[in-house]
Structure 1
């Protein structure tokens, strides 16, 4: 069925007779060599033409088209980005994805503090606190000192929120995403982003105001 449809596309399109025969012959030859149906060859070639050559990114795109939510994809990307291979993180250019996550917060809103669910997040922030304290101690110029002092002050506020210090005050996770974006150059190897997305995906549906495909 797929093969017939693809052949019809070739036949009714602007493909020249020479190219039409060439495509059919090459597909038949590859089919013979690989022991695959010609329809499978054409299908694979057609799908690959819409995708990047990067196998990891290709997988994420296919997941998205196969029904994964944007939150699930973000979690996979952030997890991969913070994974270590040969003692180095992947350091992908994920700032546009952080901005996307920030924009998605308008569909999600705020969360009540739940100490059981916040444990991983709190520990992630605690590890970032150590990183920022070391950066502050290693940089003696006034600009860097003020920068990291401000970052630590903001981070401490987030940690106090997560620990329930402010009682029933709800948490705006968009602010944490913004924090990560502002200090991306210093924190791009941390795992906080993955934990943020995972936590938001684990919330009960009744507590989340969802956009069509968000988290």
Structure 2
């Protein structure tokens, strides 16, 4: 017999019920919806989760291992998560281009403010989806480009990185088959509308 609840035993096994019984339940964090949503991509979500938890191996973290690593984009002596996303002039330029006018006004370079604004979901449903997706994709690609600079000595201009992020977002939007879903209908049009008038 398999335990399904406190006093509930059945002859079938359920990994969901077992997980619920053995885990230590906690309240959902405020940024849960920013990281885990149906239109997200697991690969990007994992990197965003690591960034939100400040677990990426930035210069500030590897300094504890006896290594010094400045920001590879602008030369800032201490590369922290908050600097990399999006206080660095290079990454802030990318973020402005990627997010377009999804916020309704200029994005803030401060990490905590950015996360709070995305969590608040003050925009419409489609804009909220696009904003969360832009956040995840930007975190992923900035980290990949940062590592390419560090390990392979390959640097690309911000405009090229923006094009890669834009293409990835468009591909993800297409893969959702938004045109067949009443909840997602107009998602691509909404994305294109953010490209026209970027507020700086």
Per the TM superposition, whether the score is higher than 0.5 is: no
Question: Which protein has the larger Cα radius of gyration, Structure 1 or Structure 2?
Answer: 1
Q: Which structure has greater helix proportion?
A: 1
Instruction: Tell me which of the two structures has the higher relative contact order, counting C-alpha pairs closer than 8 angstroms and 6 or more residues apart.
Output: 1
- TM-score w.r.t. length of structure 2: 0.29
- TM-score w.r.t. length of structure 1: 0.28
